[in-house]
Structures are given as C-alpha cells and as structure tokens.
Chains A and B, each alone.
Chain A
Amino acid sequence: MSIEVIKPGLASSIQDKGRQGYYHLGIPPSGGMDQRSLITANLLLGNPEGAAVIECALMGPELRFTETRKVAACGAEMLPRVDGDPQPLNEVFEVPAGATLSFDFVRAGARLYLAVEGGIDVPERLDSRSTYALGSLGGLHGRTLQAGDSLALLPVHGKAINGRSLPDNLVPVFSRRYELRVMPGLYAHRLEPDSAKRFYQEDWSVASEADRIGYRMKGGSKLDFIQREPPFGAGDDPSNIVDACYPIGSIQVPSGSEPIILHRDAVSGGGYAMIGTVISADMDTVGQIQPHQKVRFVQVTLEQALAARARYQQVLEQLRNIP
C-alpha cells in the first residue's frame, strides 16, 4: 500500500490546495503552485479535486509502486514511463505492483502533478497535507521527498477509469515567453516615474533562484526609487519600508534590482517595497515558468483582473464536467 521513492527528483513535494488562516502567524498557504494542473490530475481519477498529489519540479522522481494503482500526470510535459514504456500525460494509466514509474526530462512547463487514485496519505497539519519546507511543516516529515521515503496511499475508490483523458481544448499550452498580468500598487508610488514605466516595457528572464517561495527576475534595468528621508523604522535603503505583510503574488524589488514574485510558500512579510501584484488568474502560470525563460509584465485594472478570474473559474468548471 505504498510508493517507494527510489530517486527524489529535483524538488518533489506533497501538495494539495494549501492551508488558509495562518498567514498572520507567518505560515503561508503552500499547496500546488499550478492549482489547475493539480485539480485536473485529481478530477481525471475521480478523486476529490484537492486530494494530495506529488508536485515534481523540472526533474521528476523515480517511484516504485508496491501495489497496482491508477495514476494521472498533468502539468509540465515530462513523459511518464512505466518500467521504461512511455505513458500518456493528461490521461489515466495504471502502474502495476512492483513496477517503476519514472519521467523523461521536462520538455515544456516546470511542474508536473502526479495524482494517484485515492490520494497520498500524509497527516493533515493545520488542515492541509501541503508541504511548507521552510517551516518543516506538512507533507512527508515537513520536507521535499528523499530517496528511501515511503508514501502511504489512501484507499482506492474504484471511480478511476483507465484511458480517461483530458479533452484537447483543456490541455494547457506552455511557452518560452510569458505575459504576466499585474495590478500596479502597494509602494509603486515610491518609484521614479520612468522606472515605473520601464518595468512594464522590458523583457525579464527568470533567474535560477525560482522556487516555491518566490521567482527572482533578471535582465531588466535597475529600478530607481524616489530619494527621500527614510521614514522612522524603515531602514536606509531607498527600497526599504517599515516591515509589512507581503501579498501572495506581490513583486518586491530589493535595492531596485532583481524583482521577486512571491508564490505559495512566501515569506509573509518584510521590509522591501512591493510595486504590484500578479493577478490570481496568472499565479498557476508563474509556477510553470522555467529558469531562463522570458517574462513581460502587463498592467491591468481590478476589473480586468476579475474578468480573468471569471474565465479561470470557467475553465475549472469545464474540468469538473469532463465526461
């Protein structure tokens, strides 16, 4: 009744929809960075859509199944193989008892979600099975998977059907260039107007420091902050603020260079000015961008953000109604 980890992959962790209500104590939501792909994998199997899955970043794990289980792999294009035989993405297939499930190198996207019928069984911590590695909380022993780990599975429910697949029009399309929609605000008024404008006009590329906490961006011009007498308690750097909360998706610019987009394992607060926030509909996309890929930031209004949110929810509704 378990999955044995032979090779852990680059950064594989147990995730579900995440936890809510603890951010004021410094505990971030965690959960799959691409929620849509996590939900897709679960729905294909007939699981509750928030069942715990394995999130595999850039390089997948090698897993040995001690019993036969139906699985679904969605998100980044890393071809699954059972004992070496290729298997489809976005479609339910079976891993026989004793077989090894492995993944090819990633061709597109950054994170694959491997769901098993029933779901992964780790203890719920603060109402979620999601791993928050920085705080050693949740998942398996509060950390990413390691060789030798054994993952318990919840019982099968019998609703998973071999070959059930995602309709083509719902398969996500990955790219090498992305546009991320941002609502300017927070401390954007502290930027020199030219810098505030240039941020949205230049190409940025994702740095190698891109993980569940945040995505660091490089390649654009240094942003200048308006000179001023630092407010009491803020610190001397022009990019400092009196330590405040960081919204998930907010973009901070320490010392004006290398902006960081915070994601689901965010540090919950700190003393760097944030200049805008990636809208909720684009956060899944962030989790699928590989290091060195290109990003443009696009300014949107709240109305546009809400319209994008409604379209995102329509897609989730379609996923819930797959025949």
Chain B
Amino acid sequence: MSNEMTATTRYSQAGDEFLFVELNEEMTLEAFFRSISITQRLREIALPGVVEICPANASYQVRYNPDVLTAQALQEKLEALEQEVASQQVRTLETRIIEVPVLYNDPWTHETLMRFRDHHQDPNATDLEYAARINGYDSVDAFIKAHSDTPWFVSMVGFVAGLPFMYQMVPRERQIQVPKYLRPRTDTPKQTVGIGGCFSVIYSVRGAGGYQMFGVTPMPIYDPADEQPHIDASMIYFRPGDIVKYRAVERDEYDTLLAGAEKGQFSPTVTPFTFDLDAFNQDPDGYARRVKEALYEH
C-alpha cells in the first residue's frame, strides 16, 4: 500500500469541456476502487453541468458544460468527494458477479492469429503458448486454469462500445501480464477473450486489436440491434465494478450456448455481491474462493 500513500491525485484540464483525473500512474486495485467510488458518488449527487462521468482503471474523466459549471468548481467538488471516499470506514462496493463461458484455443482466434504471425513477438508459437511461457506456466492448460480460476474486476468499459477491461484479482506477483502485439492486427473476431498488459478484455465488435487472443465467449455483450433480453436499453452488458469469473467450456457446450444466444436466449449466471476491499487485501485467495461460492451457491 506504500505506493498509494505517495500517489498524489493529478487533475488536468483537457480542453474547455473535460477534466481528467489520474489517481495513480500505475494500476492498483486501490486506485481503481477510488475511481469507481468517486464517480459513483458524483453520479448520485447529479451536479448540474456534469455531462459524462467515465471511470477508468486508475483514473477517471468528467465531461462538463463550462457555461454551467466552472472547471475550478468541478475540481473542488471532486477533491471533496475524494476526501469523503478516503474517510470511509467500510470500503465496499455493491456489485454483481458474472460468469463468462470461454472456449479457449478456439478455431476462429487461431485462424486469425495465424494470419498475423508477422505482427507477433514469437511467430513460432500461438498467443496462448507464448503467454503461458513468458508467465512461467509449463503448459497451455495450466495457463488457462490461471486465467479462468480467479475473479477479474471490470475496471473500465470502453475503447469501443461495451468492451470491458478487466483486472485480475490476485496478488501482483501472480498477475498474468503479456505485451500487446508488436503491430496491431486489422482483424479480431467478435467476442474474443484476450490480454494486453495486465488487462483481460472481451472484444465487443469485430475489428482492429493488439491484445493477445486466447479464446471466444458465446455470451453477447453489446446489443445494438436490441435482440438480447439480458442486455438493457443501454445496449451494453458490462459496467465498471462488475466482477467476472471465466469458465472454460468445451466445443459442444459453446455451440449450444451460441445457438441459444443467436435466438436471444442467452441467460448469464449472475449474482449480486458486496465487494469488500479490505477483506480482499487481507486474503486474496480466500476471497477468490468466496466469490466462486457466491456465484455457484446462489
């Protein structure tokens, strides 16, 4: 926690309509927790002139109308909210746990990654083989287990519509980290599950991308056509603060789930949950087990 003690919040005017707030230069669960707590409070107080409130991994951003609210008044309010959040005795977050089924090592990301081997650090290995090796796992299966066994925090939603960035809820020394591709791909299958840096993502739309690709999920996460009952009118499934638990599935189950999704019949396993930051910090492994119990005993 020492890095948190020395981290100072940095406010930066981004033009005349945005205030950008960096809580920590490096990614930490503490910084994310502050980002989500401050932005939630800001949403609750409905300050006139605030137009967009965007939490991110270790920072956040507010778009405001400077004709209604001055930059200085906004910053003072945000500083006050940060104080308020810092003085909280109980550091909890009302959220939900969502299971995301993944077909790892699937044929579609495999075909795609083979087309872009000349963009990759290790052209002679697959993304999974490369990620397993540089993270010290002796097999792809052991790596998949590490990726799918622990919970992940949705620490940001964005880049493109509905894409979740997820931060692994394990002590830092065990966090999976992989570099992004040397040069971005021009193609990534829809609903690809991958990692870049320390963040796991699910690509919500087909398109360019630079993260290492590990598998695909049959779960729709972006719904511009209004076809998915599990996604509300915002068209986006994930929210910052959600907790995700991946589950490795075989091809048969993937096909069944996908066929259901295509008929608008995907029903995610999800349960409400109160996340407690201090309880997590005291015993990350025990907490990961509790998350799993909450998800599957519900």
Q: Is A235 within 8 A of B235, CB to CB?
A: no
With A135-B205, A242-B58, A268-B158 in contact, do A21 and B240 touch (Cβ < 8 Å)? Answer: no
A305 in contact (CB, < 8 A) = yes
Q: Which single member of A26, A235, A270 contacts B157 (CB below 8 Å)?
A: A26
Query: Interface-forming stretch among A47-55, A64-72, A85-93, A244-252?
Result: A244-252
B14 in contact (CB, < 8 A) = yes
Q: Mark A31-58, 1 if CB is under 8 A from B, else 0.
A: 0000000000000000000000000000
- Which residues of B (224-269) have their CB < 8 Å from a CB of A? 224-225, 234-236, 239-240
With A185-B14, A233-B198 in contact, do A24 and B161 touch (Cβ < 8 Å)? Answer: no
Q: Is B15 within 8 A of A268, CB to CB?
A: no
B127 in contact (CB, < 8 A) = no
With A26-B161, A244-B59, A302-B71 in contact, do A137 and B15 touch (Cβ < 8 Å)? Answer: no
Q: Is B15 within 8 A of A243, CB to CB?
A: no
Nearest-Cβ distance from residue A123 to partner chain B, whole angstroms:
10
Q: Is B235 within 8 A of A126, CB to CB?
A: yes
Contact partners of B63 in chain A: CB under 8 A: 23, 247-248
Interface residues on B, range: 35 or more
Interface residues on A, range: 35 or more
Q: Is A306 within 8 A of B240, CB to CB?
A: no
Q: Which single member of A132, A233, A249 contacts B27 (CB below 8 Å)?
A: A233
Contacts A135-B224, A277-B15, A277-B18 supplied; 11 other A-B pairs, CB < 8 Å: A25-B157, A25-B234, A134-B160, A135-B161, A135-B222, A245-B59, A247-B15, A270-B159, A278-B15, A306-B16, A313-B67
Q: Is B16 within 8 A of A26, CB to CB?
A: no
With A232-B172, A235-B179 in contact, do A245 and B54 touch (Cβ < 8 Å)? Answer: yes
A236 in contact (CB, < 8 A) = yes
Contact partners of A186 in chain B: CB under 8 A: 12, 14, 20
Pull 8 A–B residue pairs with CB atoms less than 8 Å apart, ordered by A: A22-B234, A25-B158, A27-B236, A185-B12, A185-B14, A186-B20, A243-B57, A249-B15
